[in-house]
Amino acid sequence: MNPAASSLAGGAEGVGPEAPPLAPQPVPGLPPVPIAKLALSVVVPFYNEEANIVPWYQALTVVLTELALPYEIVAVDDGSRDGTFARLRELHLADRRLKVLRFRRNFGQTAALSAGFDHVSGEVVVTMDGDLQNHPEDIPRLLAKIDEGYDIVSGWRVKRQDAQLTRVWPSRIANALVSLVTGVHLHDYGCSLKAYRSEVAKGIRLYGDLHRFIPAVASYMGTAVAEIPVEHSPRRAGKSNYGLWRTVRVLLDLVAVRFFLSFLTKPIQIFGFLGLISGGLGTLLGLYLAYLKIFLGESIGSRPLLFLAGLLILVGVQFIVLGLLGEVLTRVYYEVQGKRTYVIRERLGLVSDET
């Protein structure tokens, strides 16, 4: 057995959640996949990748078979307009370990990954693209790193095979900025080839376009993150759905991620701080103008500083009020939905009170 698979196979019994029964009837002549606990789940989103489906499936199943682990593949058709779903359905009929989710329309890669995480049964979840640029041969190395005790292992496309000007350099700048702001230092946030422990993948709630920030978002749960170099190939068929606009979106999403990582449960600390700075500057300007008026007898009614002082004080009050409203909304968010402000990794001698 592959060394990377040994501990996963040994832990597959009595640890991971059970796979749901197979809904479709087995194809005559093909043995059904046993309903057992799965050690590995592979989640792959697709959008208009008809030409890549079959070679992707063939390359992936060769690697997964060599691992000698129970596995499933969860393919998510993100509202493709070509024959992507038809190809996936054909493969599913031949191999019930390939499961398919189909969206009514294109919701984006974040939604596709989130749906995949919600439907996996494995103890370890691997994500990858279906455009043949990620190499399935790197999966055993991801699993080996997970076995070292990490919760997330991210791929690093050292020799990235994309356009330098429009893809590679904007990505490098964005990765450096994300690492600086979030404190989770990775060379390649955009690499889809990643491995997660199941409890981490299922504990993440993703919105918008935050899939590229999963390691940073997961750090809120106290996860251990590692990064390993992986191979990367040029796109063989189909068309990339990313461009320069993606970099702008990354910068906008980064603001949201930073807020959620640091101030989601304490919004008054960021808005109150801004309010105190603004109000404090306005007050100092006001005192300075009062000194000019009272002690020096100067006219201040037409001075721009007077209007600036009033504006700064008003903005400061608004920031503080916004922070207080944020505190109220935070309590509503957690208490009404029964959410907790902490994540428990394990329990010793205690019974979970979660329902």
Quick one: pLDDT at residue 178? Answer: 84
Quick one: pLDDT at residue 100? Answer: 94
Q: Could you tell me what percent of the chain has a pLDDT over 90?
A: 43
Closest alpha carbon to 12 in 46, 50, 38:
38
Quick one: pLDDT at residue 330? Answer: 76
What are the two backbone dihedrals, phi and then psi, of residue 125, each rounded to the nearest 5 degrees? -115, 125
CATH topology of domain 3-263: Spore Coat Polysaccharide Biosynthesis Protein SpsA; Chain A (3.90.550)
Q: Residues 313-345: pLDDT tens digits?
A: 999 999 999 988 988 887 787 677 666 655 555
Given the DSSP bridges, would you call strands 194-197 and 152-157 parallel, antiparallel or unpaired? Answer: antiparallel
Q: Residues 76-120: pLDDT tens digits?
A: 999 999 999 999 999 999 999 999 999 988 888 888 998 899 899
Is the predicted pLDDT of residue 238 greater than 70, yes or no? no
CB 311 within 8 A of CB 282: yes
> What residues does each domain of the chain span?
3-263, 267-336
Quick one: pLDDT at residue 353? Answer: 54
Strand partners, 232: 134
Quick one: pLDDT at residue 167? Answer: 66
Predicted confidence band of residue 24 (pLDDT cuts 50, 70, 90):
very low
Quick one: pLDDT at residue 32? Answer: 44
CA distance 30 to 313: 74
pTM score, two decimals?
A: 0.70
Report the range out of 54-58, 182-186, 253-257 with the highest average pLDDT: 54-58
Quick one: pLDDT at residue 25? Answer: 38
Predicted confidence band of residue 12 (pLDDT cuts 50, 70, 90):
very low
Predicted confidence band of residue 254 (pLDDT cuts 50, 70, 90):
confident
Q: Once rounded to an integer, what is the mean pLDDT over residues 216-240?
A: 80
What is the average pLDDT score of the chain?
81
What are the two backbone dihedrals, phi and then psi, of residue 142, each rounded to the nearest 5 degrees? -65, -45
- Which structure tokens are listed for 155? 């791929």
Predicted confidence band of residue 205 (pLDDT cuts 50, 70, 90):
confident
Quick one: pLDDT at residue 234? Answer: 74
106: which residues sit within 8 A by CB, 6+ positions away?
Answer: 47, 78, 79, 80
- Which structure tokens are listed for 92? 């599913």
Quick one: pLDDT at residue 52? Answer: 93
CB 303 within 8 A of CB 289: yes
CB 187 within 8 A of CB 228: no
Q: Residues 143-197: pLDDT tens digits?
A: 999 999 999 999 998 888 766 676 677 778 888 888 888 888 898 888 999 999 9
More confident residue, 267 or 290: 290
